[in-house]
Amino acid sequence: MGNMNRHSKILIIDDNQVDRKLMRLMLENGGFQVVELSSGESCIETIEAENPNLVLLDILMPDMSGNEVLRMIRENLSESEIPVIMVTAKSDTSDVVASLKLGASDYLIKPFQFDVAIKMIRAHLGIVIPSNFGPKQTPINREYEAINLHELLTNQTLGFDVYLHLQENMKYLKYIRSDELITDAQIERLKLRNVSELFVKADDLPKFRSLFSRSLASKLTDKTLDPEQKLAVVKNAAKNLLENVTSISSEQDCAQWSNNCVHFTKVIVSDLCQMDLTTAYESMEKLLASTPTLVTHSFAVSSLSVVLGMALGIFESKSLQELSMGGLLHDLGMAKLPPELLEKHLLMQEMTADELKIFHKHPALGVENIVKVSKTPIITDNVINIILEHHECADGSGFPAGLPSLRQSYLVKIASVADQLSLELSKYNAFGGDIKSILLSILKKQETGQKKLDTKILKQLLDAL
């Protein structure tokens, strides 16, 4: 059964690295263990050391041909001891006939159909192919996770390594190289086969999830979806996006993730609010050109405010617009402060009393300078409040007002959480954590001293995710 694959080890002998990689992926995804050799010289030693159950042997190799290697193997081991399947790029049957005479068990012609290859290998190993190889089967469950294909069909940018796995017959359908975009024809083929689920290697799942944000544009303009369905799609996408934090393991990943959030925000705001954020983002970028870290932070808080807002169930276009603008402009006043202070703030480092005095001026400075970015009606009271009050605290320990009686609006509270989350995220280079544990650690900080944020919102977010 499928489990037997786990104990089956395949030795690949092929001089072509790309072919070896493809075969390895195919076999590993089929549940086999794999050993590779780039030439046949040391194959006997490898066979003795690794004890493989089957050999995939390339015929055309520069130093020692596949048939020579085969001869060497057969001098030591019989066909019943180890099946050897020849792999050849050309359909020249004379080589194959020679191989079969030398004791090859079978042959495959490159590029191969993975389903045929796997079937052939299993047949030679005496492995029975289960007829209902569905999601309940344990091997596939452990290695793969199912993704609803309908969520992704509008998406044309599946640009990374993946095997598409057909549920009904569990055959490998297509290997997409990382630089190859999925084509309409491929999607049509999938549709024709009525595939509803795509089995994605568990490791690739976060990457797939990030694609939800990119397929949103088409979903939101889809006339067949009613508003409620669209909102469900949006809420789900916000959730997916936030959960995707798990995939961040480098600064590059973090930038990619932030870009996804920004993209998502632009799509949402332009579709739901009929407002193009691009101009606002660009003018901020120009205005803050000397402090690129502040630009990144501003974009992050803008998009996170929207994403968090949506995860909390805010779909009202005015509010989303205000969250995106408020987040974008919240630290505008920081540009007026010494750059060292900005760095200290963004890295969450301690400031001296004198530095704090200056730092506390940034909300008011932001409001004073707001006209430089925009005089248009998008600068509403809520936007101004986000700029002015994003450092106020419920216990009166905040600034600039420092009044416990000051009641932040819901949107200000969300933007403040987004601000803190953005700082926490940029602090981690490789946290490998999930969004819930990050939010939990922020919540813990609120409960043990630093009472800056609204704990109710943090708890609501934890519930929503």
Interacting residues toward Fe ion by CB under 5 A: 331, 419
Nearer to Fe ion, 45 or 340 (CB): 340
Residue 423 Cβ, how far from Fe ion at the closest point, in Å?
7
Phi, psi (degrees; rounded to nearest 5) at 36: -120, 145
Q: How far is the CB of 391 from Fe ion (least distance, A)?
A: 6
Those residues with Cβ within 8 angstroms of residue 280's Cβ, 6 or more apart along the chain or in another chain: 325, 328, 373, 374, 378
Contact (CB, 8 A) for 199 and 190: no
Helices (H), 51-92: 66-76
Check if the beta carbon of residue 54 is closer than 8 Å to that of residue 11. Answer: yes
Task: Give me the residue label for tokens 């216990």.
Answer: 395
CB of 243 to Fe ion, least distance (A): 23
Query: Which C-beta is closer to Fe ion: that of 329 or that of 379?
Result: 329
Matching residue, tokens 């085969």: 70
As given in the structure block, the two tokens for residue 254 are 């973090």
- Alpha-carbon distances, residue 2 vs 126, 144, 145, 184 (angstroms): 12, 14, 17, 33
Of 265, 344, 348, the residue nearest 305 (C-alpha): 265
| Residue of 335, 345, 325, 312 lying closest to 422 (CA atoms) | 345
Q: Shortest Cβ distance from residue 433 to Fe ion (Å)?
A: 21
Q: In terms of CB distance, is 199 or 299 closer to Fe ion?
A: 299
Measured from the CB atom, the residue of 204 and 331 that comes closer to Fe ion is 331
Identify which of residues 145 and 454 has a Cβ nearer to Fe ion in the complex: 454
Please, what is the minimum distance in Å from the beta carbon of residue 290 to Fe ion?
17
Q: Of 58 and 331, which has the nearer Cβ to Fe ion?
A: 331
The identity of residue 71, as a single letter, is R
Cis amide leading into 52 (omega within 30): no
Cβ at position 348, least distance to Fe ion in Å: 11
Sequence-distant (≥ 6) Cβ neighbours of residue 298 within 8 angstroms: 284, 288, 327, 328, 329, 330, 331, 332
| Cβ at position 14, least distance to Fe ion in Å | 54
Containing 56, the helix (H) or strand (E) segment is strand 54-58
Closest CB 452 distance from Fe ion, rounded Å: 11
Pair 73, 49: CB distance under 8 Å: no
Judged by CB, which is closer to Fe ion: 240, or 298?
A: 298
Cβ atoms of residues 98 and 65 within 8 Å: no
Q: Give 14 or 331: the residue with its C-beta nearer to Fe ion.
A: 331
Nearer to Fe ion, 82 or 412 (CB): 412
Q: Tell me the closest approach of the beta carbon of residue 362 to Fe ion, in angstroms.
A: 6
